[in-house]
Structure 1
Amino acid sequence: MGDVRLVVVAGTTETAAIDGISAAGADPELRVHTPSADLEIVEAGRPAPGSPVPVSPSGCPTPAVVTRAVRELLGSESLPVEFLDAGLGAPTAATVRDLGTSPGGDVRDPEPVPEAAAVFERARELAPELAGSGDEGGSDSGGSEAAELLVAETIPGGTTTALGALTALGERAAVSSSLPANPIERKRRVVAEGLDASGLDPGDAAGDPIEAVRLAGDPVLAAVAGLIVGCADAEVDVTLAGGTQLAAAAALARHAGVDRPLPLATTSLVAGDPTADLPALAADLDLTLSAADPGFAESDHPAMAAYARGEAKEGVGMGGALALADRAGVADAAVRERIAAVTDRLLAERAGTEGSGDAGVNGPAPSNGGDLR
């Protein structure tokens, strides 16, 4: 396996507080901690003391568990990580690079991401450094050999803001959900309300990705799109590790003029979601789609059973991490065993914090009215 670096872009948006849009926490105050805790899990294997544990009482853990499990199997030196703060709403103990932006506003606001242009540009400029290319001019400029970047996201409510950006661009208006029953019509109503407030019709932002994010997206989308463009400028290989949210970021990059090949590594759970129609969206955007399936249904562990039901289908680089494990020749059974071990560690952490009266589970048991991401 060649040199690969995982870059997780993390942020929050007030969109996640809309009723029925996100169930990533017991209430909005807890929900804003989810991305911060996700980074801690990927980096250290557990949230920092005082951070809520993003595991639902149903037994469905955050997808960060899967990414962490793969890092443990491959060795952290084989999968180094970089975390970008694109509007975190709560502190994190993880080591982050701050893109200097605030959390995103409600997608129904006239301008939910006023700093979209600045975030996009900062991420674009940072891409060569993250890859270790040593020069923004690419391979002909004398810089050191660059690593492949595996770019991921964590932002509650992000499928709704992704839908907003896709609609503003005039692309296929479909996204997935972390729950078996995707509240897609609710999301479309929310996006329609937001476009109306922003004075946009579907497709009005075609060819203007910054405008699409500024008026209908979230700061994580701005940052991921900037990274994609920066990688293209520097001739750095990039794989998008995610589902419809990363596809939305790819759409933004396409509208910014990026025409190079873009792989999209997701899970079979997202690729097989008929409400998202990700294969068609990937074809629209000329993305090379791959879908990992580690055989969650073959395990009787509650975490794998929850994934197999269609909960937490993607996020925090889950699909990309599984693809890396497969590329490295790690057996699916070993992946499942390590996911179980990481989950059990988190459950023990939850039990300890509940017993001490500190922060506990970040989120109630999922219901069909929410969206964990």
Structure 2
Amino acid sequence: MRVLLAAGTTDTALIEGISAAGASPELMAHTPAADAEILAYGEPTRAPVTPVSPTGCPTPAAVTRAVRETVGFDIAIVDAGLAEPTTAPTVGIGDVAPGADVREDEAVSDAGAIFDRAHGYGTSLPDDDLLIGETIPGGTTTALGVLTALGEPIGVSSSLPENPLEHKRRVVDEGLAASDLEPGACAGAPLEAIRAVGDPVQPTVAGVAAGALESGTGVTLAGGTQMIAVAALLRHAGVDAPLSIATTSFVADERGDDLEAACERLDCELTVTDPGFADHERDHVAMNRYCAGEAKEGVAMGGALSLVPDGQMADVRNQFETVCSRLGIDAEQGGQHDDEECGGD
């Protein structure tokens, strides 16, 4: 099994109150690079930030890395608009720039070209099965943007304990107005939706998925409502191949029946995995913060957890403690990085 991570940035994340992926714009720009390094090496190597909240909530990359250290899987990291460099080995699909603020008239001006190049890469992958994840601060807002532009009545989750959904809707409304579009105007035109109110990770993931499916590879979109948005983009592009969504119990707890209804609407198989943090034999601040509603998903966390064989989730939890210690997170007192916040959106 190969886990592919699309890592990128969007200026939409800089809108106040949208993302919990960094305490400042300067640090937020490094979050996807840090996530890629944690997935590849177990800790940041070049990125000057470890995405850990003041309350001790680590980026979902820490969970995905713990799964990798426990059960093993190959990785590929695609540069889907990184604003800052990373030492993690990355695949380039041409020059992909960070996304603009969705409130501008164009958020991803070259969405079609990105999709085409990613599609070519997807068709070249030799795997029988592929699990695709993402890391992009602000990604649930851009997900809501494309869903609204496509006319899909689907909400989104948040890495914040309280989802600022109405704020996100106002931002999306401003973005559609700036692009002279009404909700639903891009039905059947997914690349136009991305161009107007999306982000560069979306055409990357959609392109890779479409190419892989075309070549006979089984594709699982590893994530929550951001991957629901990608599934919608694929369906609106006429891709009708079997498609799976794998996410965490934390997203499912927040979105409830909405998540199941969205997967049914988009004809996607849904897998929800509970890492059992609430049942861990030792009290650990990182697990407690996930149970309190922080982070929830990202960096292929839900998909990686779905790979854990029966009986090995306790091993993953123990390894997660090890990864947290490596990242400077004290089990009882929380993170040492007091000015940082959780990765994801």
TM-score over 0.5 (shorter chain)? yes
User: 1:277: Cα distance to partner?
Assistant: 2.0
Q: Equivalent residue for 1:137?
A: none
**TM-score normalised according to structure 2 size:** 0.94
Separation in 2, partners of 1:289, 1:310: 21
Percentage of matched positions with identical amino acids: 54
Q: How many Å apart are 1:279 and its aligned residue?
A: 1.4
Partner of 1:236: 217
Task: Give CA-to-partner distance per residue, 1:222-256, whole Å, 9 cap, x none.
Answer: 11111121122111111111000011001000011
- Paired position in structure 1 for 2:18: 21
- In structure 1, the gaps of 5 or more residues are 133-145
The one-letter amino acid of 1:108's match is R
Q: Using the TM superposition, give the Cα deviation of residue 173 of structure 1 relative to its aligned residue in structure 2, in angstroms.
A: 3.5
Correspondence 1:267-282 to 2 at 5 A: 267-274=248-255, 277-282=258-263
Deviations 1:5-54 (A, max 9, x none): 00000000000000000121121111010000000000000001452111
The answer (yes or no) to whether the contact 2:140–2:157 under 8 Å persists in 1 is yes
Q: Structure 1 residues 244 and 187, CA, compared in 2 at 3 Å: closer, same or farther?
A: same
1:90 CA displacement: 0.5
Choose which of 68, 78, 89 in structure 2 pairs with 1:84.
Answer: 78
State the partner residue of 2:112: 117
Q: Which residue of 2 aligns with 1:153?
A: 134
RMSD: 1.8
Contact kept in structure 1, 2:20 and 2:160, CA below 8 Å: no
Is 1:313 equivalent to 2:296 in the alignment? yes
Please give the secondary structure, in 2, of the residue aligned with 1:273: helix
Amino acid at match of 2:41: A
- 37, 42, 49: which is aligned to 1:45? 42
SS at match of 1:149: strand
Separation of aligned partners in 1, 2:339 and 2:239: 38
For residue 136 of structure 1, what is the aligned residue in structure 2? none
Instruction: Tell me how far apart the structure 2 counterparts of residues 276 and 120 of structure 1 sit (CA, whole Å).
Output: 31
2-structure distance, mates of 1:160, 1:275: 19
Q: Is residue 190 of structure 2 the alignment partner of residue 193 of structure 1?
A: no
Residue equivalent to 1:138: none
Indicate whether 1:254 and 2:242 are aligned.
no
Counterpart-to-counterpart distance in 2, 1:317 and 1:17: 23
Residue identity matched to 1:37: A
* Cα separation, 2, equivalents of 1:104 and 1:276: 31
Aligned to 1:64: 61
Structure 1's 187 and 275: CA in aligned 2 closer, same or farther, altered over 3 A?
farther
Q: Which amino acid aligns with 2:33?
A: S
Worse-superposed segment, 264-273 or 44-53:
44-53
Aligned to 1:143: none
In structure 2, runs of 5+ residues without a counterpart are: none
SS at match of 1:150: strand
Match for residue 10 of structure 1 among 2, 7, 12:
7
In structure 2, how many angstroms separate the alpha carbons of the residues matched to 1:47 and 1:174? 32
Distance in 2 separating the partners of 1:254 and 1:295: 33
1:177-220 deviations in Å (ceiling 9; x for gaps): 11221110100000001000001101100101110100010000
Q: CA deviation at 1:348?
A: 6.3
1:203-214 mapped onto 2 (5 Å cutoff): 203-214=184-195
The one-letter code of the counterpart of 1:103 is P
Within-5 A mapping of 1:316-331: 316-325=299-308, 328-331=309-312
